Amino acid sequence: MTDEAGFPRFHPDFIWGVSTSAYQIEGAVAEAGRGPSTWDDFCAMPGRVFDNQSGQVACDHYHRYREDLALMKQLGLDAYRFSFSWSRVLPDGVGQVNQEGLDFYDRLIDGLLEAGIAPAPTLFHWDTPSPLEAAGGWLNRDITDHFAAYAGLLAERFGDRVKQWITINEPVVLTLFGYGLGQHAPGRTLFFEALPAAHHQLLAHGKAVQVLRAAGASNIGIANNHAPVWSASEDPADRMAAAGYDALTNWLFADPILLGRYPNDEFAAAMPGPVAEDLAIIASPIDWYGINHYQPANIGAPGGAADPDASDGATLPAGLPFQLRAIEGYPKTDFGWSVVPEGLGEILRIFRKRYRTALPPVYITENGCAINDGRNAAGLVDDQRRVAYLAGYTAALAQAIDDGADVRGYFHWSLLDNFEWAVGYSQRFGLVHVDFDTLSRTPKASFDWYRRLIAASHGLPEGR
């Protein structure tokens, strides 16, 4: 259903937000007591990142956060999902606290509350402190206790003002791209021997949930990347490959949290430590589940025509039991990702069917697209393809809710054009254009569309 202005209808209490992450926007990597992270190290390796770029300055949000707060207030946001930089809070990952880092997040959180925007921080978004990585990183079980201590520190400092917590962002990406394929920090190429990194991130999540809960925090969740997996054909080999990929990228990371088990015995056997006892911690009850969704995956058996866009341009090694295939018949973003709004409704239906009463309320914690339109002669960014993307995906979300999905909020990725990991500044996901030479901000046409959607959803005048 749509309203009189053509916007999809949502409950007036539905939460509208945007998402960012620390390394992608903050900059100031060598300032104010911040220690080095794996992404600083990775960017310093020649050839690892597009054009040898880095997040050293990024959007300079550390210094320009007040300007960005004004943009968020202009949007009319209900909530802002950002991430704490572990290295800015604890330069070594453990031990000595950096008060300047905590003070920065105090200023940011207080500014959000003054603007009427709820802070929804993520504790960890892939930027592991370098000293912890040197000690084994997410392959070393010790990091789970260090993460729990870090979570406790943040809860103690910010728990009086933060009312929604996200433990970890997309452990699948750090596991597969960071430790498995070497395309992200820390740049390891362990292939399936990277699976302990998945287990330790899940265990760290569970320990953090317990620590946050003990500190009096509530409204705790995780942000996991999920997508429907399509078989390239009805051929049994393609169907088997798709099922394996589905288990590896979806259920390996959701089943332990929501069901307290791995999706099959093979995964459980590949994990280190006392797995059964760990799973009891991993399954510590959460208040909601975050789904980051971008596009479906079309999977076939090895030997077909692979689609490099489906793996963010990464060259996948030979010998994998699956192959990523192109999705035909749909528009593409400038990153080559397929625009399939119905995929969002599909993954929500899959979750309802798979988890039933074990599934808590859901938030869409990321959804967005790379549309690289620049400023025109009038200085405006008329990104109508992103407007169409937003309209399509929010309409699909509204339909999924009408069909019974318990979705409480939507966070668009992203507020700002930013440092997009291994592709540097080549892809623009923001509602706000950033000139990376001057760092000036220019709201795009999509910014105005999203502002009007939020106002319409809450029954407010468009001029809010």
- Summarised one tens digit per residue, pLDDT across range 375-423 is 999 999 999 999 999 999 999 999 999 999 999 999 999 999 999 999 9
Tell me the pLDDT tens digit for each residue of 69-83: 999 999 999 999 999
Query: 133, 170, 346, 420: which one is catalytic?
Result: 170
Tell me the pLDDT tens digit for each residue of 216-263: 999 999 999 999 999 999 999 999 999 999 999 999 999 999 999 999
In this predicted model, which residue has the larger pLDDT, 193 or 319? 193
Q: How is the chain split into domains, by residue range?
A: 15-457
Specify whether 67 is catalytic: no
**Which residues, in sequence order, are bridge partners of residue 441?**
434
In sequence order, what E strands does 247-402 have? 289-292, 297-300, 323-325, 362-366
Specify whether 366 is catalytic: yes
Residues in the chain, how many?
Answer: 464
Against a cut of 0.75, is the pTM above it? Answer: yes
pLDDT band for position 321 (cuts 50, 70, 90): very high
Q: What is the DSSP string of 28-82?
A: -TTSTTPPPBHHHHHHTSTTSSGGG--SSSTT-HHHHHHHHHHHHHHHT-SEEE-
Burial of 342 (0-12, 13-18, 19+ CB in 10 A): middle
Q: Does domain 15-457 have CATH number 3.10.20.310?
A: no
123 near 168, Cβ under 8 Å?
yes
pLDDT band for position 464 (cuts 50, 70, 90): very low
| pLDDT given at position 462 | 57
pLDDT at residue 455 is higher than 70: yes
Query: CA 243, CA 229: separation in Å to the nearest integer?
Result: 8
Query: 133, 346, 366, 420: which one is catalytic?
Result: 366
pLDDT at residue 461 is higher than 80: no
To the nearest whole number, what is the mean pLDDT of the chain?
96
In sequence order, what E strands does 360-435 have? 362-366, 407-413, 432-434
